[in-house]
Amino acid sequence: MTTYNLATLLEGSAATHPDRTAIVLNDTRLTYAEVDSFANMVANLLVSRGIRPGDKVALSCPNLPYFTVVYFGILKAGATVVPLNVLLKGREVAYHLADSEAKAYFCFQGTPELPIGEAGYAGFTDTPDCEHFFVITADLGAPSPIDGTPENPVETMAQAMAGQPGTFDSVATDEDDTAVILYTSGTTGQPKGAELRHRNMRDNALLGEPLFGADPEKPDTYLCVLPLFHSFGQTVSQNGAFAYGGTVVMLPRFEPHAALDLMLKERITFFAGVPTMYWGLLGALEDGVDVSALADNLRVAVSGGSALPVEVHKEFEKRFGVTILEGYGLSETSPVASFSKYGEPARPGSIGVPVPGAEMKLIAPPDAGGDWTEVEGAGEIGEIAIKGHNVMRGYFNRPDATAEVIRDGWFRSGDLARRDEDGWYYIVDRSKDMIIRGGYNVYPREIEEVLMTHPGVSLAAVIGVPDESHGEEIKAVVIRKDGSDLTEADLIAWSKEQMANYKYPRQVEFVTSLPMTSTGKILKRELS
């Protein structure tokens, strides 16, 4: 085993390029030296409060410089970062703090519309074993916005850090020690914490050069719109940027027009987003937007998190002149497991090939039972299994759940895919989303792709709904394009002409928006 701390990503760039801009938020610009110094103060604070190597420290913060400073400060102290979704309520915060055995908790105050601090403090007070709570104020000099008790007043992070030195010798953790615990979305049962080692996160961040041509001598400027508490944003937009001395331009909440404005103002060269973000950017391209200037700056566009509709892929490439590199991964794989090949022609709909240091194979679908039988033929459908440097240690304190998904180093993803003759993978669907209609397997994504080719359809989500005669019936929930007068009967009739009889949707519901997670994935479980 080798001594390594993930904080080296920051420290290396701070040593090599101390005056280079590391983070931008509105008019705030922090150099690598400043970010490193602030992170050292956080590390000193934690050590002064009794945090020891291996202890867990939770963090609730949107895309603000505070997230990065605290994240690396926790790592420098040899502790494990537990990033929490900023949308969690008090009861949910308490669950995550207790489940992760967190000893300390940094929480941003939030806004009147999203009172993160209030929910965080409520969860903290219900977690006796979590000893320290620090509220991060929007204005560092402001007093605590949260009332504690006379015996236990609520400290602000600024108050706690006051007087702490800006230098710190990072704890020499082992590369196999746990750096981060990322909680899964919990679509089935309670959320589970995926334990990611220092080497898992390091090796994933260092994929920037082979996957995207990252070069510290020609650093990229990243637009950070993906939530940093999520694995995609954390690895690709933050750690991947820091590994190569890039600049991270933060946008706390994705809004298409604001994102386009920042892309122009800061000359963004690297954009990573989920499919609904690309859909949103295309929808915001009004006459006044200088698309040519955007395209001149943009070097890399990356999509992940869920399947990118082929029509969105084609339209973005047409408007921006950049091929979207589509990738695939999960929190349990740090997250990147496969990617399209940089510099090669696009294969819309494909998630590419396994990344360097990782392997992928297809195994018999879950309902086949028995051993994990490999599916080998081109075009055949199987469940993706992954092995390599990116696979988690396991689920924290859940050996049984870990054993269910990891066998002989192979992680079972729950996603169904096929592989072409060249070894490129194509997601078919989540195994849990598959619809069984009258005994036929129907994959929602295939239907969504077809629906997206209709001139009146802007976005579509397909689900299965209970049906007495067929077990499940196919329903499409659709957002029309502006100006479209498409009707349910029209779309059903058109679909019938485009798809096999057992596939086309018998029910259509038109909506103005679709429910989404904080990371921009469509929440199909909230559709009915």
Looking at residue 232, its pLDDT comes to 93
Looking at residue 348, its pLDDT comes to 86
pLDDT at 146 exceeding the cut of 90: yes
pLDDT at 187 exceeding the cut of 50: no
Beta bridge partners of 94: none
CA angle 314-361-446, nearest 5°? 35
Residue, of 235 and 498, whose pLDDT is higher? 235
Looking at residue 472, its pLDDT comes to 83
pLDDT at 191 exceeding the cut of 60: yes
Q: What is the Cβ-side half-sphere exposure of residue 505, based on CA atoms within 13 angstroms?
A: 28
Among 283, 282, 284, 285, CA closest to 301: 282
Among 242, 289, 284, CA closest to 264: 289
Q: Can you tell me the mean pLDDT for 236-249?
A: 98
Task: Please give the Cα distance from 263 to 324 (Å, whole number).
Answer: 16
State the pLDDT confidence band at 453, using cuts at 50, 70 and 90: very high
Q: Are 275 and 283 in contact (CB under 8 A)?
A: no
* Ranges 184-188, 238-242, 332-336, 441-445: which has the least confidence: 184-188
pLDDT at 225 exceeding the cut of 90: yes
* pLDDT digits 0-9 by tens, 459-509: 999 998 888 767 789 999 999 999 999 999 999 999 988 877 878 999 999
* pLDDT digits 0-9 by tens, 272-321: 998 889 999 999 997 678 999 999 999 999 999 877 888 999 999 999 99
Looking at residue 369, its pLDDT comes to 55
Q: Are 156 and 134 in contact (CB under 8 A)?
A: yes
User: Which residues contact residue 215 at a Cβ distance below 8 angstroms, ignoring those fewer than 6 apart?
Assistant: 209, 244
Could you give phi then psi for residue 190, rounded to 5 degrees?
Answer: -75, 145
Q: What does the mean pLDDT of the chain come to?
A: 92
* pLDDT digits 0-9 by tens, 59-114: 999 999 999 999 999 999 999 999 999 988 998 899 999 999 999 999 999 999 99
* Ranges 15-24, 84-93, 197-206, 241-250: which has the least confidence: 84-93
Query: What is the identity of the amino acid at 218?
Result: K
CB atoms < 10 A from the CB of 195, how many? 23
Among 461, 475, 464, CA closest to 516: 461
Could you give phi then psi for residue 117, rounded to 5 degrees?
Answer: -65, -45
Residue, of 445 and 339, whose pLDDT is higher? 339
Q: Can you tell me the mean pLDDT for 327-343?
A: 94
Looking at residue 276, its pLDDT comes to 87
The share of the chain scoring above pLDDT 70, in percent, equals 97
pTM for this entry: 0.87
Angstrom CA distances, 120 to 8, 109, 138, stand at 29, 9, 15
pLDDT at 324 exceeding the cut of 50: yes
pLDDT at 371 exceeding the cut of 80: no
Among 130, 171, 172, 122, CA closest to 147: 122
Among 412, 351, 365, 423, CA closest to 385: 412
Looking at residue 185, its pLDDT comes to 64
Q: Can you tell me the mean pLDDT for 355-379?
A: 83
State the pLDDT confidence band at 446, using cuts at 50, 70 and 90: confident
Task: Please give the Cα distance from 278 to 458 (Å, whole number).
Answer: 12
Domains of the chain: 8-183 (3.40.50.980), 206-430 (3.40.50.12780), 435-526 (3.30.300.30)
Q: Can you tell me the mean pLDDT for 206-213?
A: 96
Q: What is the Cβ-side half-sphere exposure of residue 468, based on CA atoms within 13 angstroms?
A: 0
